[in-house]
């Protein structure tokens, strides 16, 4: 179908976008990559009165590493993260997750900020941001505030952003030297919508023991979630197949009613979450070992 009519405003800066959002109120939506919003407009599931197009705001597209922090501008295309070799090393999992956000043409347009702000429970980047302890920067008419990823996702397509706030960037502390990360998902078709996904970051100490581990899961609840019980199982231990299996069991057991839909039953999602936790931990630990 064709989208309903709307009033269109091109914002050439983040501040201009924030001003337009404040001026037009609750009927205004931010248009970034459009890979979810325009689809929903075409299907007439949403009909915003005003679209504030942030694509001209080039200042929002960047990937920077400085002072131990990685900052990614909200307008950075998923394909840019996927192909950014400076993220190799401890952030390989972020590249892997970006490389699986839909197909090439979707990644060419879809943005990091859009993937987070759309807050789809099955999206790839939210669990990665949970595992990387990221914070989201939101700009409103009163200035910037930061929201931890743990507090950002409130429910399916619901976030802590106020209606007139713009997600401008995501920041995360670089994992320690010698950490490894991975993202793995299962979908019915290659790069199709994920049934469930797992992101893991594993840091090893000098003796090869696991000094830190963080795990994020997608597709198993109303938002992406941390798999803390699985993290507790592995921290302080040495990597082994048995350990990953124990973590898988802990992750699966701790889930609160994974959803059932046409793609998979809740029971299957619970099983899958465990399998993915084990695989993501194994891959992240393997990468960490190679780097040490």
Return the residue of 26, 43, 162, 253 that touches other proteins, per CB under 8 A: 43
Q: Does 58 bind other proteins (CB under 8 A)?
A: no
Structure token pair of residue 149: 């990823």
Residues 107-126 that bind other proteins (CB under 8 A): 108-109
For residues 190 and 230, what is the distance between their CA atoms, to the nearest angstrom? 27
**8 Å CB contact between 75 and 166:** no
Q: Does 271 bind other proteins (CB under 8 A)?
A: no
Cα torsion angle, 217, 279, 189, 99, sign: positive
User: Taking the complex as a whole, how short is the minimal distance between the CB of residue 85 and other proteins, in angstroms?
Assistant: 14
Site string for other proteins, 8-37 (x = CB under 8 A): x-x--------------------x--xx--
Q: Does 157 bind other proteins (CB under 8 A)?
A: no
Return the residue of 22, 46, 63, 106 that touches other proteins, per CB under 8 A: 106
Residue 245 is inside which H or E element, if any? helix 241-254
Q: How far is CA 272 from CA 241, 253, 255, in A?
A: 17, 12, 11
Return the residue of 78, 79, 159, 218 that touches other proteins, per CB under 8 A: 79
Residues 6+ apart with CB under 8 A from 254: 227, 228, 229, 230
Q: Does 102 bind other proteins (CB under 8 A)?
A: yes
Kindly list the residues in this chain that would bind other proteins in the complex (CB under 8 A).
1-8, 10, 31, 34-35, 38-39, 41-43, 51, 53, 55, 79, 102-106, 108-109, 189-191
């Amino acid at each position: 179908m064709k989208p309903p009519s709307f009033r269109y405003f091109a914002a050439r800066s983040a501040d201009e976008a924030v001003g337009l959002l404040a001026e037009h109120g609750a009927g205004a939506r931010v248009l970034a990559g459009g890979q979810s919003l325009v689809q929903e407009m075409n299907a007439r599931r949403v009909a915003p009165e005003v679209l504030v197009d942030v694509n001209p705001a080039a200042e929002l597209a960047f990937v920077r590493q400085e002072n131990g922090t990685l900052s990614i501008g909200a307008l950075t295309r998923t394909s840019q993260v996927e192909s950014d070799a400076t993220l190799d090393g401890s952030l390989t999992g972020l590249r892997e997750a970006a490389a699986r956000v839909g197909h090439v043409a979707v990644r060419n347009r879809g943005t990091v900020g859009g993937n987070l702000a759309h807050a789809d429970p099955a999206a790839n980047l939210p669990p990665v941001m949970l595992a990387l302890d990221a914070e989201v920067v939101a700009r409103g008419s009163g200035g910037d505030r930061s929201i931890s990823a743990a507090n950002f996702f409130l429910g399916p397509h619901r976030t802590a952003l106020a209606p007139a706030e713009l997600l401008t960037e995501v920041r995360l502390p670089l994992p320690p030297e010698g950490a490894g990360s991975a993202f793995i998902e299962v979908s019915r078709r290659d790069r199709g919508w994920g049934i469930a996904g797992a992101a893991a970051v594993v840091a090893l100490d000098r003796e090869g023991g696991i000094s830190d581990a963080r795990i994020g899961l997608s597709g198993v609840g109303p938002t992406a979630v941390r798999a803390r019980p699985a993290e507790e199982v592995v921290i302080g231990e040495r990597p082994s197949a048995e350990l990953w299996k124990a973590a898988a069991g802990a992750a699966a057991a701790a889930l609160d009613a994974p959803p059932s839909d046409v793609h998979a039953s809740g029971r299957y999602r619970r099983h899958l979450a465990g399998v993915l936790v084990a695989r993501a931990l194994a891959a992240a630990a393997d990468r960490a070992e190679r780097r040490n």
